[in-house]
Amino acid sequence: MQQPLAPAQRDAVLRVVAANRSRPGALIEILHAVQAELGFIPAAAVPVLAEELNLSRAEVHGVVTFYHYFRHTPPGRQIVRVCQAESCQAMGAEALTEHVKQRLGVDFHETTADGQFTLEPVYCLGNCACSPAVMKDEEICGRVTPHRFDELLAQWRRKS
């Protein structure tokens, strides 16, 4: 069963739609804004968006599910992305990824039991001269060795 939208969530979705309705081709911009407000795109937001934007549910669902960035479930409080692309592989991304998974105790697309971190793969952060690269929310980190990751992780835990 699909969870209905909480009133606050519904208000947020409608607010975002109102602010962007007049922009041409605005659906992706709207989805970005919904995710920024709610942390993810709840399934129950799809019919609301469809109705408001005069699109079919299938169209909205199709867009939400096409793009890797849009989440269908709530993330942890911080999102850690580890680059998997060639340049980072050339500098040890595979071993780093194993280390990160082991340290956080989760696989890709999973959230730690305490709700602190969600781990995601990413395919290039454009930081290829400083590989391997990791991004935590919008904080980008270069030349991340397993040791440096542990230091960063300690900082992130302290901050939250």
Q: Which of 13, 38, 122, 149 binds other proteins (CB under 8 A)?
A: 122
Using rule CB under 8 A, residue 110 touches other proteins? no
CA distance 42 to 19: 19
Q: Counting Cβ atoms within 10 Å, is residue 21 exposed (0-12), middle (13-18) or buried (19+)?
A: exposed
**How near is the Cβ of 131 to other proteins at its closest, in Å?**
6
Using rule CB under 8 A, residue 114 touches other proteins? no
CA distance 53 to 64: 14
**How near is the Cβ of 2 to other proteins at its closest, in Å?**
22
Coil, strand or helix at 129: helix
For other proteins, the binding residues in 1-20 under the rule CB under 8 A are none
For other proteins, the binding residues in 18-57 under the rule CB under 8 A are 24-29, 31-32
Stretch that binds other proteins, among 5-13, 101-109, 110-118, 137-145 (CB under 8 A): 137-145
Cα-only R_g, the chain: 18
